[in-house]
Structure formats: C-alpha cells, structure tokens
Amino acid sequence: MNPIVEAFAFFLGFLAWIMVGIALPNRYWRVSSVDGNVITTSTIYENLWMSCATDSTGVHNCRDFPSLLALDGFIQAARALMISAIVFGTFGLLATLVGMQCSKIGGENYVLKGRIAAIGGVFFLLQGLCTMIAVSWYAANITQQFFDQFYPGTKYEIGEGLYIGWSSATLAICGGSCLLCACKMESSEEKIQYPYQPGPRGHMLSTVATSHTAPSNYGRNAYV
C-alpha cells in the first residue's frame, strides 16, 4: 500500500464527510421565487427539515415540518440516507486512520492494516452511494414537478444543498475507490511456497539394493 495514496484517500474521505455534514442542515435544497410587484416578491426555500420564506425586505420566516409521517416518501428516504452517509463516513474515517501505514494504531502488522484500510474504503463507498441516491432522488422529484404542467403546487428549482451533496458523494466514491484499488489484500509473506527437492536417484537405488542384499541371520526353515 502506498502511503501517499492512503493519505490522499483519507483526505478525500474526510472532506466528503465534512461536506455531507454541511449539506444535511443546509436550508437551500430547493428554491422557488414568487414574482409580483416590489412588495410581494418573495423567495421560498426548503430542505429536509423545514420550509422558509423571505420577502423583499429581507425578513426570514421558517417553520419545521409538523409531522414526519405526513411528509413525502422521498423526503423521508433522503433523511435516512443522509444520516446513514454520516455514520458510514465516520466508520470509514476510523478504519482508514487505523489502517494507514503512517499510523501507529494497530501495531506493525501491515497485512492486517491493509485489510482494515480496505474496509475503510468500503465504508467510504457506502457513504458516497447513500449521499448520491439521496440528493439525486430529491432532485428527480424537483425536476418532475417543475416540468409537470398539471402540478398544482409550488414549483421549485435545485438549490445549493444538492450541489454540495453531489460533490460530497463524488469525493467519497473517489476516496473509497483509491483505497480499494491500492490496497494489497494478500501479502507475499502470507503464503511461502517451499519447492519440492527430490533426493538423488542413485542414492534411492543403492538403498533399495542394499535392502535386497542384506544377509539374514535366520535359515530358510525358520519362516512359517
């Protein structure tokens, strides 16, 4: 395992973990502008937890979603996936930190440390996949409602929170792929092959000949 690749993958995973923590509470997951005159123009924006509105005077009003069960299914799924991404990223950081060669945690068994680093790469991939599914699913519903001519509700556009989520997912997938591709899961020291070296054929023949010509102390009549 290349220590430079380990450090680079750890940096990507840590940056992705920070960004998914920023994207989760970000208020601008979807944004809608209600046009009118100078007084009535307002901006409505939502995330996974609340809905906010601001008017032309700059006053912000936010309210939390009143009921979890009353929310749309994609919002509930996005919540669960984003929280799972943070958990997977935490495990990935811990495993990668233990498995890095420059780390003294876990001793000097580099074969075991390489496998632990590979497990960290798997956690980073899971983090990236959860984040990518959450933000893509949320964005798909935004675009579907926006281009639906018969949708009666407020039409929104993609906000900055989704772009942060996509960036986080890309970094996490790149970091996990670097760890999995660079880790050597099986060391050459684990399986040492000892070549078979047969003895000289002349020695075997002389041994057999000696056993056949060895004198016997018993007569032929002594055998039953």
pLDDT tens profile 196-213: 455 555 444 444 444 444
E strand or H helix that includes residue 55: strand 50-55
Q: What is the DSSP string of 86-138?
A: HHHHHHHHHHHHHH-TT--TTTT-HHHHHHHHHHHHHHHHHHHHHHHHHHHHH
Q: How confident is the model at residue 141 (pLDDT cuts 50, 70, 90)?
A: very high
- String of b and e for 215-224 (b: at least 16 CB within 10 Å)? eeeeeeeeee
d(CA 3, CA 110): 11
* Tokens 């979807």, located at residue: 30
Q: How confident is the model at residue 33 (pLDDT cuts 50, 70, 90)?
A: low
Q: 17 with 93: CB under 8 angstroms?
A: yes
Full set of structural domains in the chain with CATH: 3-182 (1.20.140.150)
Nearest to 179 by CA among 105, 109, 123, 107: 123
pTM of the predicted model as reported, rounded to 2 decimal places: 0.74
Per-residue pLDDT, 213: 46
37-51, 54-68, 132-146, 185-199, range with greatest mean pLDDT: 132-146
Number of helices and strands in the chain (H, E): 5, 5
Residue 29 DSSP class: S
Q: 115 with 133: CB under 8 angstroms?
A: no
